[in-house]
Amino acid sequence: MTKEHAHIIGRAVIVIGSIILILWATGYLFTLTYPFIIAAVIAWMLSPLLKYLKIKLKFPSGVASFISLLVGMSLLGGIITGLTFLGIYGFRQLSEQLPGWIEQGAEQLQRIFNETILPIWTEMTGFFDNLTAAQQQTMQEGITQLGNQIGNILGNLGQTIADGLGNIFTAIPTFLLVIIFVFLAVYFIGKDMGAIKVGLQRRIPKFVQAKFVLFIQQMRVRVFGFIRAQLILMFITSVLVLIGLLILGTENPLMMAIIIGVAEILPYLGTGTILIPWAIYSFVTGEIFMGIALSILYIVVVIVRQSLEPKVLSSSMNLNALGVLLSLFIGLQLFGVIGLIIGPALLVIITILNDIGVVAEIEDFIYHGFRKE
């Protein structure tokens, strides 16, 4: 190994170690200051309105920041109100249909019990009577053991649910406190944004500032591109579900399609949050055709979404379609379901760093070190 190769390896180790250290420090600092980081992101998103109020309309900084905060809260409240309206409508429809569904389900379960379970039980009773005393005792012990295991499983499940609910109720005061800190931080950051920028500009080197400005500009394009991509995917999902429900002749197909489309924003299941229980209920109530149709509809929606998601994300966020697909797969393998968000997010950051020249500069440093001016 030549001396030059040793220097290259040494600089590569330094770069990798620095990246790992930065990631660790960022994660640690985020756990300590996440309300203020969230507030900074919100203030950044509201900065165009804040600048307009301060520069064009000559509002004082405090007033402009307060109005921007109110506008942001109003938009968030409008979104929450809209989602709440859809939820209330869905629950109202559910409450109207639920008594009939319960009655049908009870009748179907009774029929299954009478036609399937009861004859099996009768046969088992006759079979049990023909066993020897030792065989009967062995079977009784097995049944008792099985019952204990089922009881333990149900007990553990109930305890887990109770612990989860307890954790949720315990976290509510902390959540409300975090929300208050976020709103206050948004106001003060917006109010003193000019002074904050001047203070940072004095302490951060010029070349870092130039790269950071380029990074923020590219990130803004990607963030709005991501929102656009999600809206497109939700629209496609709603259209597919609407077509399926129209073919099946269900009630209120348009509203159900909208609700199921909005459910795409939910983690883990998405449309399955509604379609899977609906299909299971159809099977239980004896509507086999409806259950099969809903299952097929869910599979089609999942396949179409998974097929289009890389292309839609790549076109909306100016990313390589194969890179998006690879980031989704790697993220899923490393982080589970949440990796479907982490993977593309890391791809976006790496792509932006490459676009603004940071990756090329790191590569140049590894091969050549610091160049003399």
Q: What is the pLDDT of residues 301-330, one digit of tens each?
A: 989 888 887 788 777 777 777 787 888 888
- pLDDT of 239 reads 92
Q: What φ, ψ does residue 283 adopt, rounded to 5°?
A: -65, -45
Q: Do 262 and 350 belong to one domain? A: yes
Q: Do 84 and 186 belong to one domain? A: yes
Q: How far apart are CA 140 and CA 137, in angstroms?
A: 5
Torsion of CA 95, 97, 103, 105, to 10 degrees: -100
Stated as kind and residue range, the H or E segment containing 355 is helix 339-355
Q: Count other C-beta atoms under 10 Å from residue 193's C-beta.
A: 21
Per-residue pLDDT tens over the stretch 179-189: 888 888 888 88
DSSP H helices in 52-132? 61-112, 118-129
Domain membership of residue 121 (yes or no) is: yes
Domain count, the chain: 2
Q: Do 188 and 308 belong to one domain? A: no
Domain end among 152, 183, 203: 203
Q: Count other C-beta atoms under 10 Å from residue 262's C-beta.
A: 19
Domain membership of residue 284 (yes or no) is: yes
Q: Do 4 and 80 belong to one domain? A: yes
Domain membership of residue 152 (yes or no) is: no
Q: Do 189 and 235 belong to one domain? A: no
Domain end among 203, 218, 243: 203
Name the percent of the chain lying above pLDDT 90: 6
Q: Is the pLDDT of residue 133 over 80?
A: no
Q: Do 188 and 247 belong to one domain? A: no
Q: Do 96 and 218 belong to one domain? A: no
Q: Do 116 and 103 belong to one domain? A: yes
Q: Do 286 and 299 belong to one domain? A: yes
Residue 327 CB burial class (10 angstroms; 0-12, 13-18, ≥19): buried
Residue 342 domain boundaries: 204-368
Q: How far apart are CA 34 and CA 181, in angstroms?
A: 10
Domain membership of residue 327 (yes or no) is: yes
Q: Do 187 and 212 belong to one domain? A: no
Contact (CB, 8 A) for 88 and 257: no
Domain membership of residue 223 (yes or no) is: yes
Q: Do 257 and 321 belong to one domain? A: yes
Domain membership of residue 209 (yes or no) is: yes
Domain membership of residue 158 (yes or no) is: no
Per-residue pLDDT tens over the stretch 19-31: 899 888 988 888 8
Q: Do 97 and 180 belong to one domain? A: yes
